[in-house]
A and B are shown apart, each in its own frame.
Chain A
Amino acid sequence: EAQVTQNPRYLITVTGKKLTVTCSQNMNHEYMSWYRQDPGLGLRQIYYSMNVEVTDKGDVPEGYKVSRKEKRNFPLILESPSPNQTSLYFCAGGQGPTYEQYFGPGTRLTVT
């Protein structure tokens, strides 16, 4: 069964404290991406990756970093979180951007 896992599912942290949200897929998919979901703004792509060591900015990359050292993992890093990064985050994977994307269950992040 195609699966994308994210950890943690819920996180409350303070401004400036570095954090990492992990994402892992079991489908051997090339394409992975991170989104944030905010009320009234829908889903906005943060970063995406076409393959190992290949990453590109989406529409809202400021304040985020990613890495793709292995095909299955695509962690999202917030080096100095701020309250405006409080959001619901989704990781997704697919064979490519033209194919069905499989979404993880989401990570609800609160930055105080």
Chain B
Amino acid sequence: AQSVAQPEDQVNVAEGNPLTVKCTYSVSGNPYLFWYVQYPNRGLQFLLKYITGDNLVKGSYGFEAEFNKSQTSFHLKKPSALVSDSALYFCAVRERDTDKLIFGTGTRLQVFP
């Protein structure tokens, strides 16, 4: 069965520093991978996705993610964090032969001034 893990409940980073939010997955075959962000009292918003092609995917608000097939990871990164990036981040995966989307448990990112 497909699954996705976000090993960190919370990530703290100082404004201006690079940030990484980790995600690992378990699926059979090649996955579709996604990152979403949830700001307080809001629904989720799409950040980026990996379907095929370049392992480095660029998305909204300066975020990017690197697909690593050998490590089954899809970590979210940003070179310079902003206080306004503070939110809850979700990784999601879809196996190619199903229509289900599986979300991780979420990682809360706190960016301190």
Contacts and interface: CB of A to CB of B under 8 A. Distances in A.
Q: Which among A33, A97, A104 has the highest number of chain B CB atoms within 10 Å?
A: A97
A44 B32 CA distance: 17
Size class of A's contact patch? Answer: 20 to 34
B99 A43 contact: no
Interface residues of B, number: 22
A90 B44 contact: yes
Contacts, number: 62
A74 interface: no
A98 B100 contact: no
Interface of B: 6, 32, 34, 36, 42-46, 49, 51, 90, 92, 94, 99-106
22 contacts: A31-B99, A35-B103, A41-B105, A42-B6, A42-B90, A42-B103, A43-B90, A43-B92, A44-B103, A45-B100, A45-B101, A48-B100, A48-B101, A90-B43, A90-B44, A92-B44, A96-B99, A97-B32, A97-B99, A97-B100, A100-B46, A101-B46
